[in-house]
A and B are shown apart, each in its own frame.
Chain A
Amino acid sequence: MIDLGVTIKDLYLKNPVMTASGTFGYGEEFTDFFDIARLGGIFVKGTTGAHREGNAYPRMAETPMGMLNAVGLQNKGVDYFISDIYPRIKDIDTHFIVNVSGSTVEEYIEVASKLNELDKIPAIELNISCPNVKEGGMAFGTSCHSASTVTKAIREVYKKTLIVKLSPNVTNIAEMAVAVEAAGADSVSLINTLLGMAIDAERKRPLLSTITGGLSGPAVKPIALRMVWQVSKAVKIPVIGMGGIMTATDAIEFLLCGATAIQIGTANFIDPAVSVKIIDGIEDYLRRHRHNSVYDIIGGLR
C-alpha cells in the first residue's frame, strides 16, 4: 500500500496534489472532466471584503512557455462566497481553502474572521503576493515588516490552518518565509506569479491593459524550484510548492526540493484533467522507487 497522505499542520490531505488559486474557479468548472474529490485540496479564487470587478480587458498574454495575467482579483466578495458558493461546495469530499486578499490589513481581517466561522473551510491562504492590484496585495508581501504585521493580525482572528502565500518578487524569499513563520503562519505556499511584461512591437503597445502582469507556467518553474528549495531549508513549517507544474515529474521535483504538497495552476488551462494524472503519476513514481509514503521523497534531494 502506498500512502499518498500528507499533513499541513492539522490539515490532513489525502494526497499532496491541490489546484492553485485563480486557476480552478470554485472547482465546479472542472466536474465534467474528472472527480474533483480526488484532489488533496482546492484553493479558490482570491476573495476580498467587497465585490471587485478586476482589471480591464486585455488581461492575458501568451508568452514563451507561459502566460501573463492581470485579472486583478475579480470576485464577488466574501459575503457572496459565504451565501452563494459555500453551500454548493461544502459537501464535496476534498478541502476547499480560500485565498484571502485585501487592500488594507482591516480588509484581510474582515475576510479571515468571516471565513473562520465556516465549518467546512479548514484553512485559508493569505495572498500577500498578488502583483495585479494597485493597493495591498504584493505591497504586503515584499517587505518582511509588512508581511509579518498582516500575518500577526490574521493569526489573532483566524484559528484554523493559516497558509501564507509568498511573492517571488523579492530579493530574499527565505527571509520573508522566516518572518511569516515567526508571525504565526502554519505553512507557506510559493510562488505566486512573477511580475512581467509583454508588448506588441508592431503596434508599439503593451499587451495587457495594466502594462505589467503576473507570469506563470513552465517558464517560471526553475525559479519556483529554487525558491522552494531555499525556503524549505530556512523554515520548519511545511512548504507548499507551485510554479509551472505540468506533469507528475514536475510535481515530484518540488517534493524532492522540500515541498510537502504542491499546487497546479496554469496547467489546468491546457489540460483540465491534468491534476488526476499527476496524482496517479506520483503514485507510480513511488511504486517504481519502492517507497511506501510521499514522505519518503519530501526533501529527498541528494
Chain B
Amino acid sequence: MSNAQIEIQLIACIVAIACAIPGTFLVLRKMAMISDAISHSILPGIVVGFFITQDLNSPLLILLAAFTGIITVVLVEYIQKTGLVKEDTAIGLVFPTLFSIGVILIAKNANDVHLDVDAVLLGELAFAPFDRLRISGVDVGPKSLWIIGSILLITLGLLIAFFKELKISTFDKGLAASLGFSPIIIHYGLMTVSSITTVGAFDAVGAILVVALMIAPAASAYLLTTDLKLMIIYSICFGVFSAISGYWLAHGLDASIAGSITTMLGILFLVIYLFAPNKGIIAILYREKQQRTEVSLLTFLLHLKNHKEIEERHVNHLNEHINWQKVRSKTVLDLALKNNMISIDKNIVSLTAKGDEFTSQAIDYIITNEDTQIEDMKDDFFLFRG
C-alpha cells in the first residue's frame, strides 16, 4: 500500500468514528432526519466562510458553517412549536431553503470561487492526501486528517465526560430536567457536535457520506445490543469496517470511495437487519413459528391432561381430534418427547410428571399473567418471551 492509500483509509476511519458517536445518540433520539438537514444547510455557511477565509479547511469556516447547522435546528424547532406543521414538514421546509441559498451564493460567485455543490455533497476522499499541513515548512500529514482528528478528540472527551448526562437526557428528559441536568444544554451540545463533525468531514468525504456514517452504523448496532456502551462501540466498529472495506471496493471497481463506503454501510445494515439474533427479520420469523408450535404443544398437553380415556390418547386419534395436519402433529409430538413431557406406549400417549407440571404452570401463567413463576421457562420456550 502506498502512503496515500494508508492516509485515505486513516481519514475515512477517523471520520467514521467521529460520526458514529453523535450518530448513536441521534438514532436513539429519533433525530436521524436532523443530521440530513444539517448536512445540507451548512452549505451557505461554508460559502460565506469561504468568502471570508479563502480556505476550506480554516477553523473559522468550520465554526461558521457549524453555526448554520445550529440555526437549522433552531428554525426547525421554532416552526414545529407553532403547532401548525409536524417535525418532518418543518425539516423539509428549512433545509432546502438554506441549501438553495448556498447554491445561489455559489452560482452568483462561480467565476472566482473554487467551490462547487458536487464537491460539498460528495466530497473527494481520493484528493484528501494532497492538501498537506505544513508547520514551519515540515510536512506533518494531510490537513483533513488533522481537522477531523481534532474533532474526534473533542467528541471523545465530551462523550466520556458527559456520558451519564447524555444517557439520562436521551432516555428520560423529564427526569433529567428535574434532577438539574438541563436537557436543553445537552440537546444543543449534541447538535453542535453533530454540526461541527459534519462540516469537518464534508471536505474529505462529502455531506451525504457523513449522514450515512452517522445513521447506518448506529441503526445496525441498535439491532444487536441492549447496552448503550456496546451500541457505541459496535457503531464505531461498523463505521470503521465500512470505511476500509468501502475503500477497497472502490479500489477494485475503480469507483467513488464515498459511494463505495455508503454502499458497504447499506449492505452491512441489510445483513444485520436480516440476521441479527433477536431483532433480525429471520429471528423474528423463526420465533413466531416456534411460538405457534409451542401453542400447539400446550393445547396438546392440555388435551392429555383433561382426557384420561385411552381412546382419546391414541396417536392416530390425535390427528383427527385436534384437527391438525400430519406434519404439525409430528412436530408437536417430537417436541413433547424431546422435552420428556410425554411418553408413548403402544401408540398411547401419556403425560409424564414433568409434562403435567409444565402444563399447570403454563396455564396458570396464561390466566394470571404472573411472570415470576415462569422465569426459568423463558429460556426453553419462546412462548413466554415478550
Instruction: Decide whether A and B are members of one complex.
Output: no
Q: Report which B residues bind A (CB closer than 8 A).
A: none
